Amino acid sequence: MELSRRDALLFGLGGLVAIALPGAALAAKVEELTAAFAGGAAPQAGGITLTAPEIAENGNTVPIEFDAPGAVAVMLLAAGNPEPSVATFKFGPAAGSHRAATRIRLAKTQDVIALAKMADGSVRQAQATVKVTIGGCGG
């Protein structure tokens, strides 16, 4: 079988599109999860503190902590994971504090996003980039 220059270019472009699609699909999934959690409110910066390591040597256990005074729910997202939704924490009226610490799994270097739904209906957002040297989701 002989491959023309035009066919080679089409195959090359197809390969580039195939590489770019998973990233676009993940970004769309993060946007969809954010919109569903926020319920139409635009996330604003501030009001929530997200603590994450700058570099994680192993993506299997990355410590994450947040503090969101006045929040009724907090959602954690890992934008580069195959499934971006990590956890949702809900706080009742008797909650002594609105903070939590956990360990999450990250597939690669990516942004970790914390969204806090406040009692007044507003949504607050904090974000941290974690550099992962060994991936935790099979990578």
C-alpha span between 103 and 63 (Å, rounded): 4
| pLDDT by 10s per residue, the chain, length 139 | 576 766 656 666 655 544 544 555 556 788 898 888 888 888 999 999 999 999 998 889 999 999 999 999 999 999 999 899 999 999 998 888 999 999 999 989 999 999 999 999 999 999 999 999 876 665 5
3-state secondary structure of 69: coil
Whole-prediction pTM: 0.76
Q: Are 50 and 71 in contact (CB under 8 A)?
A: no
Q: What is the mean pLDDT of the chain?
A: 84
Nearest to 114 by CA among 77, 83, 73: 77
**pLDDT tens for each residue of 57-80:** 888 999 999 999 999 999 999 999
d(CA 13, CA 86): 33
